Structure 1
Amino acid sequence: MTKNKIGFTSTFPIEVVYAAGQIPVDLNNIFVTGNARKYIENAEYAGYPRNICSWIKGMYDVVLSSDIKTVIGVVEGDCSNTHSLMATLKDKGIKVVPFSFPFEKNRPELEREIFKLEKVFKVDHSVVIQTKERLDKIRKKLVLLDEITYKENRVTGSENHLWLVNSSDFNGDPDDFEARLDKFLLEVQKRKLIDFDFRFAFLGVPPIISNLYDFLLENNVNVVFNEIQRQFSMPFLEESIFDQYLRYTYPYSIFDRIEDIQIELKKRKINAVISYAQSFCHRQIDNILLKKYIDLPILTIEGDQPGELDARTKLRIESFLDMLRM
């Protein structure tokens, strides 16, 4: 069987694609680790507006610059711009497959969406369940990595971020991902403890800013809770695939996120919070409620173009840290 790359715009039940013998590819990861500015430039040259989220523009050109011929778009539970992204990709001859997380977090509706996806990829549900069991073995090891991050202080926020964010598709090769993860976990046990002053939480979508975690660590801050990245790793290890994607907080209400966040802030003994927002994203509005219901110092950082921290944001972070030290 020929293994085809199946692009996707946001985390969804990747078990279905793997069960079908295909390779799921998180377009966000390809965009941000590749020639990100060129992808954006090409999308804008094709007509995408300047004031549209960089991730949407980046994913558009990632697909057209690759051998990906099918894209699964999360059209409910993520960015509303995905609708137009899918339309413009379809116009270029790309097969588009919609997937929706029900707004009301309704189990029967989610079951229908997953069964519909199985029908598209011509795969039996029993094989999907077997695939989930295989991937859950890796997810258990990611839970361990996350625990080492906040319990033992042997993993940096950047490392935690990269491992968890890449679990959205296991880099297209779960066996290789697991082998490298095993090696990393062994290496970590031989490390000295990381020395830092503050335990931070990072809330919101993964940052488009490449050196944020490194800059924080240089200033004696380690991020020991990456909220959405942790959600990508499906840490709850539910037996049912339906329950697994119902407990995944990102596509549902902000109140589902806040409930999970509050538990983790207490468990991880967090000192302060960075709330990250992407320019032109509706999730910036969620900051109103995050600030209302989280009783910790919060610094909001906004990212637009891919690249390193600008001087203004560095100064804001340093001023925030000065305030915490007072």
Structure 2
Amino acid sequence: MTRRRIGFTTTIPVEVVYAAGCVPVDLNNVFITSSDPGSLVARAELDGYPRTACGWIKGIYSTVLQGDYDAVIAVVEGDCSQTQAMVETLAATGVEIIPFSYPYGRDADLLRAQIEELILRLGTTWEATIEWKKKLDRVRREVWRLDELTWTRGTVSSYQNHYYQVCCSDFNGDPDAFLEEVLRVNRQAAEAQPEDQGGNQPIRLGYIGVPPIFTDFYDWIESIGAKIVFNEVQRQFSMPFDTQDLVEQYLRYTYPYDIFGRIEDIKTEVKKRNLAGLIHYTQTFCFRQIQDMVIRRCIDVPILTIEGDAPCPLDARTKLRLESFVEMLSQPINRR
């Protein structure tokens, strides 16, 4: 019997999807890793999407239409403000839409009700969902270890840190295979020679904001003498909270709620990981660009804000700004 493929627009309680015997698919990952993500954006615009719509939204729309999905779970509160309109265009073509919301005020009862509704909609049980949480937490712990090896030993690359944490949204549809892959990377990282702790050490940077739509961001960063040792939102996808309570887990997950919870998490990691500065990625036409004002007011480290629109390599202007930022931080007075 073929398992149902359930796409989703951003991280959701994936335990429920696995408990229902379905295959969860993070549509963002399918879009950005496709052979030609730019064509997916173009297809949405040909269908009538405005130029000013978010590139991720347009990419997800086309990914669903060109893929094979039995339903799409749409996070209509706690993610992109354009998601509701996007899923309405999909529903008009016959795609089954399952709405899910993260309550803005972090209300535990409201979140529990949302999870229970998802459980009912997918035809599973709370007990089966909790069993899957236990299974997935074993995988998550290994990803936490990978993250730790990134900033303590420097033996995990910027891209690997991004990739394995961002994949915790759906575990690539196969948690067992994903776990084996992470274990292999962790073994290699643990056995590798630690990064030089002397003057040749790369500039330690944090990346905050949604994952980049640029296709070469992490490779470029390392080519100019820096390293991303903290990926804020990607780390949140790994649910780095040691709790057995499913509702608490998704209440502590910072991304869907107000900016202040994210800021406290960022400040903690800046200090713990001894970061020299932060790169704040913002998506063109996204409401989260406005939050850059609050981030700069509340976080006392150098911050460079960059903006991306469509999937493509870094443009010359952004490369120059990144180079200048790293060069500034490399001066002795700015080394942390």
Give the TM-score normalised by structure 1.
0.98
SS for the counterpart of 2:15 is helix
* % identity of equivalent residues: 47
Please give the residue correspondences for 1:196-275 in structure 2 after superposition, counting only pairs within 5 Å. Answer: 196-275=201-280
Alignment match, 1:8: 8
Cα contact 2:7–2:73 (8 A) shared by 1: yes
C-alpha displacement at 1:4, in angstroms?
Answer: 1.2
Q: Mapping of 1:141-160 within 5 angstroms?
A: 141-160=142-161
Q: Aligned residue for 1:39?
A: 40
**In the alignment, what sits opposite 1:138?**
139
For 1:26, give the aligned amino acid.
D
Question: RMSD value over aligned CA atoms?
Answer: 0.9
CA distance in 2, matches of 1:108, 1:189: 42
Shift of 1:184: 1.2
Structure 2: which amino acid aligns with 1:33? T
What secondary structure, in the 3-state scheme, does the structure 2 residue paired with 1:257 have?
A: helix
1:193 Cα deviation from its structure 2 partner: 3.0
After the TM superposition, list the runs of 4 or more consecutive aligned residues in structure 1 that deviate by more than 4 angstroms. Answer: none
Matched, 1:30 2:27: no
Measure the CA separation in 2 of the matches of 1:193 and 1:220: 17
Paired residue for 2:75?
74
The answer to whether structure 1 residue 118 and structure 2 residue 119 are counterparts is: yes
Partner residue of 1:317? 322
In 2, are the aligned partners of 1:132 and 1:241 still within 8 Å (CA)? Answer: yes
Aligned-pair CA distance for 1:192: 2.7
Q: Do structure 1's residue 52 and structure 2's residue 53 form an aligned pair?
A: yes
Structure 1 equivalent of residue 106 of structure 2: 105
The aligned residue for residue 277 of structure 1 is 282
Counterpart residue identity of residue 256, structure 1: G
Which one is further off, 95-104 or 191-200? 191-200
State the 1:299 CA deviation.
0.3
Superposition deviation, residue 157 in structure 1: 1.2
Aligned match of 2:334:
none
Helix, strand or coil at the partner of 1:162: helix
Question: In 1, are the aligned partners of 2:203 and 2:330 still within 8 Å (CA)?
Answer: no
Give the deviation of 1:168 after TM superposition: 0.6
Query: What CA distance in whole angstroms lies between the structure 1 residues aligned with 2:149 and 2:263?
Result: 23
Matches within 5 A, 1:78-89: 78-89=79-90
| Equivalent pair of 1:13/1:245 in contact (CA under 8 Å) | yes
In the TM superposition, residue 188 of structure 1 has moved relative to its aligned partner by 1.5
Aligned counterparts of 1:72 and 1:79: Cα–Cα separation in 2: 14
Q: Does 1:95 align with 2:96?
A: yes
Structure 2: which 5+ residue stretches go unaligned? 332-336
Aligned residues: 326
Q: Alpha-carbon deviation of 1:320?
A: 1.4
Unaligned 5+ residue runs, structure 1?
none
Cα drift, residue 89 of structure 1: 0.6
Aligned-partner SS, 1:202: strand
Does the Cα contact within 8 Å between 1:140 and 1:237 map onto a contact in 2?
Answer: no
Letter in structure 1 aligned against 2:101: S
Q: Indicate the SS of the match to 1:98.
A: strand
The alpha-carbon deviation at position 189 of structure 1 amounts to 2.1
Q: Which amino acid aligns with 2:108?
A: R
Deviation sequence 1:297-325 (CA, Å, 0-9, x none): 10001011101111111111111122223
CA distance in 1, matches of 2:70, 2:193: 46
- 275, 293, 315: which is aligned to 1:288? 293
